[in-house]
Structure 1
Amino acid sequence: MLKWVQSGLSVVAGTAEPEYGPDAIHPVTKSIAPSVQPWRPTTVEDFAWKQPDYTNVETQTFYFTCLNTGDTGFAQVIHSNVMGVHTTAQFTFRLFNSETKKTIWTLTKLNDFKVDGSNFYAEDLLIEFSKDGKLVHLKSNVNPDSIIDFEMTRLTEGVIFGKDGTTLYGDDVENPWGSMRHVFWPRCSVKGTISTLVDAEVADTPRIIPIEGFTMFVMALQGMKPHHAAKSWNFLNFQSENYSAVQMEFTTPRSYATTKVNIGIVCLKDKVIIGSIDNTVVHENSKIDEIGWPVPQSIVFNFDGNSGAEQTSNIIVKGDLTTLVERVDVMAEIPQFVKNIVSNVAGTKPFIYQYCNTFAISVDDLTSEKGIAFNEATFISE
């Protein structure tokens, strides 16, 4: 989920913060009463671009999964603002095939971009919601290696946790100095095409990849420097024939009392059966790699079905992390002397480990179904 990677040095660099303590973090999960359903259905207005006038990164990301072909990946627009002065936009795309292990990755700067409510427009790119809020059209012709034309239809209700899906940072909740926000469409159908020159059989003649399957759509806002907001992340997008499971967890740095914030969603066909806030992620058989991070060899995502007014099923999604799509060095393009400053002063060493593997979902140990999981384990600072 941390696609602020491409948003520029000014968003990444900085010094470590003082230890403000637990009173300076207000998780969305803590604002929800134990006896109340922790989520509500979304409206199309919930996906409107916020465009705050301070340092922030906003994203709209579509994670697609084709169970028949093994094609999976994401298409994403990044809209970032540095110190309320400089605004940029980019389109990122990844395609990975779980059978061939081949991948396509593109990152393209966008020109003449603008937002209109929930919609986004740029030269040769558009994201448009239907008026009824059930369909999104994504079309991008900004890069010949990743020409996209997707139509996505929401199959379940959208999900937003708490009042507005937002975790606030600062000692005054009415005047926070940072924020984190997420809004979801956890299970959608997707149909469309990808046109690419990568591995084309004939030069300058693109190959066409049909896409038909499921999509998870998430809109996120990170309203502060990323290494101040979190020291690590775990993310899951699991899609199978009948189930969708999404889980997002971040852990704050010591500045905010190493606080975990975890939200999870499970859908069965056309219904959301769990929207939970008391979930856990377990890294298993972790090994220290050459970077120095404890990288898991397998992972377990537990969804607590006891959140809210009614008790529902407890669900587990787990699997071995045998296929690493990419280990992303966030600061790879930053000059080494700057990287040293950022690492030594801020204690920051951000790497994103992206995986795509076959996982299994189990419901109360009674039902089990295999599907494709795209998950990320992100380490930023100690």
Structure 2
Amino acid sequence: MKHWLQSSVASVTGTAEPVYGKAAIHSVIDRVSNQNPYTELSSKDLEWELPSSSHVETQTFYLIADSGHICFVQVIQSNIGSWSSTAQFVCRVFHPNHPEHSAWSSTNLEQAHISDDKKSFTADRISLVLSSDEKKYTLGASVSRSTIVDIVFERDAPSFKIGKDGTTLFGTDIEKPWGSMKHFFWPRVKVSGTIIVNGIAIDIGGIGMYIHAIQGMKPHHLASSWNFVSFHGPTISAVMMEFTTPPSYGSTAVNIGGIVRNNDIVACTVNNVAKHVETVRDDETGWKEPTTVELSWRGVDARSGTIGVEAHMNANLKTKIARLDILAEIPPILKNIVHGLSGTKPFIYKFANTAKISLKIGQEVMEEEGVLYNEATFIS
């Protein structure tokens, strides 16, 4: 009862949590121990969950356009302390050789509405609609003059989650958790459409990835840092999502991933490493910005669970898209809560570079060059 009360107070006020230790986190990795972690998404997994408790729910699309543009679009729905629900749309466009094509917008949304089947989102001047066959999203957004979006995302490989529900639970009693973190993936999608950036129409057809995430507690209570990887080559795609908890949950790292080849799932992996091999101190923020990363995935094939799968990548992060102050972009209700917390200064470092992945499936080894988009997030 004491731990539950402490967590409930921290959840509402945004204060730092007590130190519960590793016993209070039940990671999705531990929950699939000695199992093939691959599970295809169900129809219900595509629904907006909209928990009544504190949460941040996002549907995010990462785009690698044939034109060389790197794009990111995201719909955010949040509810903190059960006080108020807010919605926001974020769009980022970057091209290393065309700064006039680079832009970002972050817009609070009015009249947000979830469809009766909970699979489509609409608000004033924006819609994100899932097709009846549940294989395609259509996004139209004119909420910002700087980025007007008209895009179709079509699933190009099987979806996945880790284990039966893709969820890490927080709490001293696993049957009565007080928080959670959940991820669902479309690891490779075909992209078509345009984004009008400051009056310039850009064809952003290419490939990408879709992720549905639900943080069922305050973000700064759940994680102190994140690593995210989205790699796409001609035939291979790879994703990695890692978060490390604050000391209140034993500074525990949870790293999940997946690999696609030839439009099929090769493996879902939970034995992964995201290492910042070389870093440089950012004097303005105090964080150590990665300049070289080493990434590895290890698991078994998704279909039989009997064939070993490994992937490796070493990348020089010479092209940085942005360094973002998270507090400048999150919904106001989140900003007000996080802003006053001692030791919380969240920044995201975003990179896009060419890289080569080495993939081994059983005894078969192959290499492929593609575009690596990755993020390093520091919170506390």
TM-score (norm 2): 0.89
**Bigger Cα displacement from structure 2, 46-55 vs 346-355:** 346-355
Question: Structure 1 residue runs of 4+, over 6 Å off?
Answer: 10-13, 341-344
Matched, 1:214 2:215: no
Are the equivalent residues in 1 in contact too, given 2:229–2:238 (CA < 8 A)?
yes
- Partner of residue 151, structure 2: 150
Q: State the shift of 1:267 in Å.
A: 0.4
Offset from partner CA, 1:333-378 (integer Å, 9 cap, x none): 89xxxx9x96896422211111111111111394222111111001
How many residues matched?
358
**Bigger Cα displacement from structure 2, 241-250 vs 133-142:** 133-142
Matched, 1:283 2:279: no
Distance 1:252 1:154, change over 3 A: same
Q: Select the residue among 283, 286, 310 that pairs with 1:314.
A: 310
CA distance, structure 2, for counterparts of residue 377 and residue 93 of structure 1: 18
- Partner of residue 131, structure 1: 132
After the TM superposition, which residues 340-359 of structure 1 pair with which residues of structure 2 at under 5 Å, given as runs? Answer: 346-359=342-355
Please state whether the residue corresponding to 2:62 is helix, strand or coil. Answer: strand
State the one-letter code of the partner of 1:271: D
Q: Select the residue among 86, 92, 96 that pairs with 2:90.
A: 92
After the TM superposition, which residues 53-72 of structure 1 pair with which residues of structure 2 at under 5 Å, given as runs? Answer: 53-66=52-65, 68-72=66-70
- Partner of residue 83, structure 1: 81
CA distance, structure 2, for counterparts of residue 237 and residue 289 of structure 1: 24
CA distance, structure 2, for counterparts of residue 129 and residue 82 of structure 1: 27
CA distance, structure 1, for counterparts of residue 172 and residue 224 of structure 2: 20
State the one-letter code of the partner of 1:14: G
Please state whether the residue corresponding to 2:169 is helix, strand or coil. Answer: strand
Please state whether the residue corresponding to 2:248 is helix, strand or coil. Answer: helix
Distance 1:13 1:195, change over 3 A: farther
CA distance, structure 1, for counterparts of residue 24 and residue 342 of structure 2: 19
- Partner of residue 106, structure 1: 105
- Partner of residue 201, structure 1: none
- Partner of residue 186, structure 1: 187
Structure 1, unpaired ranges of 5+: 1-9, 199-205
Q: Select the residue among 262, 266, 269 that pairs with 1:269.
A: 262
Are the equivalent residues in 1 in contact too, given 2:187–2:238 (CA < 8 A)?
yes
CA distance, structure 1, for counterparts of residue 228 and residue 160 of structure 2: 16
TM-score (norm 1): 0.88
**Bigger Cα displacement from structure 2, 115-124 vs 92-101:** 92-101
State the one-letter code of the partner of 2:22: P
Distance 1:25 1:126, change over 3 A: same
Report sequence identity in percent: 40
Q: State the shift of 1:284 in Å.
A: 1.1
CA distance, structure 1, for counterparts of residue 61 and residue 186 of structure 2: 9
Distance 1:300 1:333, change over 3 A: closer
Instruction: Tell me how large the CA RMSD over aligned residues is.
Output: 2.3
State the one-letter code of the partner of 1:302: S
Are the equivalent residues in 2 in contact too, given 1:326–1:353 (CA < 8 A)?
yes
State the one-letter code of the partner of 1:242: T
Matched, 1:46 2:32: no
Structure 2, unpaired ranges of 5+: 1-9
CA distance, structure 2, for counterparts of residue 12 and residue 262 of structure 1: 28
Are the equivalent residues in 1 in contact too, given 2:67–2:203 (CA < 8 A)?
no
CA distance, structure 2, for counterparts of residue 271 and residue 247 of structure 1: 17
